[in-house]
Amino acid sequence: MFVNLGRRLEAWTQAGLISESQSAAIAAYEKTNARPWSLYGLTGIGVMTVATGVISLIAANWSDIPSFVKLLGYFLLQAALGVWAIRQLPRSGIWREASLLLYALGFLAGIGLVAQIYHLGGSGWRALAFWLFLTAPVVLRAEGALFNHGWVLTLLYTAAVWSIEYRHPGLTDELRVSLAATIPLTLTGLGFFSERFFSLPRAFREAILTWGLASVLIAGTITGNVLWHTGGHRELQKFLNYLALPWCALLFAAAGSWLRGPATPRALRGVTAVTLIACGVYFTLPFFLPPDSRGVMVNRIIGAGGFILIGLLCSAAAALGQYRRLYDLATALVTIRILMIYFEIFGSMTSTGLGLILTGGLILGLARVWQKYRGPLLHWMEGKR
Amino acid sequence: MSRTAIWAIAVPFAIFLAWTGKIVYDANTGEVVSLAIKGFDPRDLLSGHYLRYRVEWGGPSCAGTSYGEAHCICLGQEKPAQSVWAGSCEELPEICRTYIRGVCQAGQFDAELERYYFPEEWRGKLVTVPDKATVQVSVTKSGRATVLGLSVADKPLGDWIKSAP
């Protein structure tokens, strides 16, 4: 039963949300269907104790166990997890998701075990890339958010580490970064196109869209802002060629957004596509800044303005799509950026008493504006939708 | 339940089994060679109990090569074995009987042999790589090398640990 259900039912009845009879019916239902949590708890403790004992026994004798036995034990366990996952596949619910996740994590443990037994060297990203390859068909069967989001985040992390650590004469540092930047954009495009032209599992599509868009918008705008802030070097222009590949992927993502299924409102499709293109333009323009304009105040102001514009476009897209958390995040980022402009201009004053009063006043003012207009703006956007 | 669903679970298992089988096969069928090693800092403090070291090739290794270029080292018959020739694998001399394939990175030959995992209880005695340490590797005919063991002054590491103060 819920904690304090009786008190909650009383409060809901007094607020007129439920009637007296409904309150009594809910209380009776919860009483008869209450799960034996104490029994579950004791069983859980028992299972955990046995499992801990087995793990301790293995760990204490780990170095004495022959490699062959370790590998055989691992493969038997992994096969059992696989059989469990196959049995759970036709069902849905927490056990199905747990079986798929454990089966996938089992491969990571296996890679670690083989690496330990045969002292495999090499970078960590190789192990993660191999794990991603092995578990790609498994994640496409999963319906839960945890596995899907974790898998996509691991993919983006592995790509980022690969772009830093991998060395090959045919792949320059800039080309590797360019290829890694293409991945979230391509994922975003695939997520959008899959809504209309081909099928991807819903949870996987949501994960690639969430993290693809988050990478593009957060990493793209922050890096873009840094370029606006420090741009105007002579060296920057020679890297322009490396933007070609990410731009192709960006156009793919923007086209995918525009061509999303008819269930998505036209305004949302348009705003998302415009936001993506704006993000690309914002990132690219500093490459064309005149040399020796480094640190020029006009560039900094344009950079800050562009950041705020993209933030507002994101807020609009989030409101149209009714993604309240994204809306709050985007507007919070815009607010923080406005605050940063203040610090950039009047930073030296903040150590004085008057400066502190002004800074505190500005923060309070921004919070007040946000609180006042957040709700009405959301309603207005929902009306537009 | 569809057949593709079963394949989605079974195929990764089969691939992983094959990958592991290849490593076990390479480790058990290659020619065993000893290579001298020396400690390498900085140690990887976040990754459990293993030693990191560099192989002392004792001869040519990576001079004048590009970063990340595929590379081969031909080993002589001494113990510990030493490099007698190094260069592009395509130019490997035909008389070379035992060679290791790897890449050159920042002037260092990397054949992914530079790590040795050891049991947790040895951590007090293995803070750094001991002097006169050698690593035993199994080298296949195609130049793939797998670490088999580590010795100190010709004693297996386990025996050396027992006799170490």
DSSP states of B38-78: EE-SS--TTS-SEEEEEE---S--STT--TTEEEEEEE-SS
Rounded average pLDDT over A319-326? 78
The pLDDT mean for chain A works out to 84
Q: How far apart are CA B51 and CA B29, in angstroms?
A: 25
- Between residues A38 and A182, which one has the greater pLDDT? A182
Q: What is the ipTM of this complex?
A: 0.83
Chain B residues lying within 8 Å of A120, measured CB to CB: 23, 112, 115
**pLDDT higher than threshold 80 for residue B105:** no
B9 contacts A119? CB cut-off 8 A: no
8-state DSSP, A189: H
Cα separation, A205 vs A220, in Å, equals: 21
Structure tokens at A78: 């992994």
Q: What gap in Å lies between CA A111 and CA A158, rounded to an integer?
A: 16
pLDDT bracket for residue B46 (50, 70, 90): very low
Residues of A within 8 A of B23 (CB-CB) are: 114, 118, 120
User: Which segment of A57-61, A237-241, B111-115 scores lowest on mean pLDDT?
Assistant: A57-61
pLDDT band (50, 70, 90) for residue B2: confident
Say whether A118 and B67 touch across the interface (CB within 8 A): no
What are phi and psi for residue A128, nearest 5 degrees? -65, -40
Looking up tokens 């709050």 gives A328
Looking up tokens 């490997």, which residue turns up? B92
Chain A within 8 Å of B28 (Cβ-Cβ)?
A: no
Nearest to A243 by CA among A177, A292, A314: A177
Q: What is the pLDDT of residues B143-158, one digit of tens each?
A: 899 999 888 888 888 8
Token code pair at residue A211: 């993290």
Residue A161's pLDDT band (cuts 50, 70, 90):
very high
Question: Residue type for A251, please?
Answer: L
Question: What confidence tens digit (pLDDT) does each residue in A134-150 have?
Answer: 999 999 999 988 999 99
Q: Which residues contact A81 (CB under 8 A, 6 or more apart)?
A: A99, A102, A103, A106
Asked if B49 and B117 touch (Cβ cutoff 8 Å), the reply is yes
Per-residue CA distances from A188 to A25, A104, A195, A276, A306 (Å): 47, 24, 11, 10, 22
Q: Does B14 touch chain A (CB under 8 A)?
A: no
Contact residues, chain B, for A85 at CB < 8 Å: 9
Q: How many CA atoms lie within 13 A of A272 on its CB side?
A: 29
| pLDDT higher at A53 or B22 | B22
Specify the residue for token string 């949501």. Answer: A206
Q: Which residues of B touch A107 (CB under 8 A)?
A: 12, 16
Chain A residues in contact with B67 by the CB 8 A cut-off are 167, 169
Confidence at residue A295, expressed as pLDDT on a 0 to 100 scale: 65
Cα separation, A212 vs A224, whole angstroms? 17
Question: Who has greater pLDDT, A270 or A349?
Answer: A270
B9 vs A: CB within 8 A: yes
More confident residue, A362 or A298: A298
A69 at B interface, C-beta within 8 A: no
Mean pLDDT along residues A172-197: 92
| pLDDT confidence bin for B69, thresholds 50/70/90 | low
Contact state of A134 with B16 under an 8 Å Cβ cutoff: yes
**pLDDT at B42 exceeding the cut of 50:** no
Angle at CA A186, nearest 5°, toward A181 and A188? 105
Residue labelled with tokens 């504006």? A369
- Statement: residue B65 has pLDDT above 70: no
SS3 A243: helix
- The one-letter code for the residue type at A273 is A
Closest residue, chain A, to B2 (C-alpha): A90
> Is the CB of B67 less than 8 angstroms away from the CB of A134?
no
Interchain proximity B147–A119, CB inside 8 Å: yes
User: Does the bond joining A291 to the residue before it have cis omega, within 30 degrees of 0?
Assistant: no
Name the pLDDT band for A263 (thresholds 50, 70, 90).
confident
Q: Please name the residue of chain B whose CA is at the shortest distance from the CA of residue A106.
A: B13
pLDDT digits (tens, 9 = 90+) for A79-133: 999 999 999 999 888 888 889 999 999 999 899 889 888 888 778 899 999 999 9
Q: Considering only A290-294, A328-332, B74-78, which range has the smallest mean pLDDT?
A: A290-294
Provide the phi-psi class of A289: left if phi over 0, else alpha when psi is between -120 and 50, else beta: beta
Supply B108's token pair: 């260092």
Shortest alpha-carbon distance between residue A121 and chain B (Å): 4
What is the percentage of chain A residues whose pLDDT exceeds 70? Answer: 90
Residue B1 in tokens: 């339940």
Which residues on A lie below 8 Å from B19 (Cβ)? 114, 130
With contacts defined as CB-CB under 8 Å, which chain A residues touch B17?
Answer: 75
Q: What is the pTM of this model?
A: 0.81
Interface test with B, best of A62, A119, A134, A173 (most B CBs within 10 A): A119
pLDDT category at A349 given cuts 50, 70, 90 is low
Whole-number pLDDT of residue B89: 84
Q: Which of B4, B7, B20, B138 should one mutate to test binding to chain A, selecting the residue with the greatest count of A CBs within 10 A?
A: B20
Q: Name which of B6, B24, B116 is nearest A119 (Cβ-Cβ).
A: B116
Residue A151 has a pLDDT of 96
Residue A77 pLDDT: 92
Question: Could you tell me which of A137, A154, A152 has the C-alpha nearest to residue A213?
Answer: A152
Chain B residues within 8 A of A169 when measuring between CB atoms:
66-69
Residues 6+ away with beta carbon under 8 Å from A177: A163, A242
Chain B: give the shortest CA distance to residue A134, in Å.
5
Interface test with A, best of B1, B3, B6, B16 (most A CBs within 10 A): B16
Count of Cβ atoms closer than 10 Å to residue A323 Cβ = 16
User: Of the spans A115-129, A145-159, B117-131, which averages the highest pLDDT?
Assistant: A145-159
| Confidence at residue A181, expressed as pLDDT on a 0 to 100 scale | 93
pLDDT band at B45 (very low <50, low <70, confident <90, very high): very low
Residue A1 has pLDDT above 60, yes or no: no
Q: Alpha-carbon distance A291 to A104, whole Å? A: 51
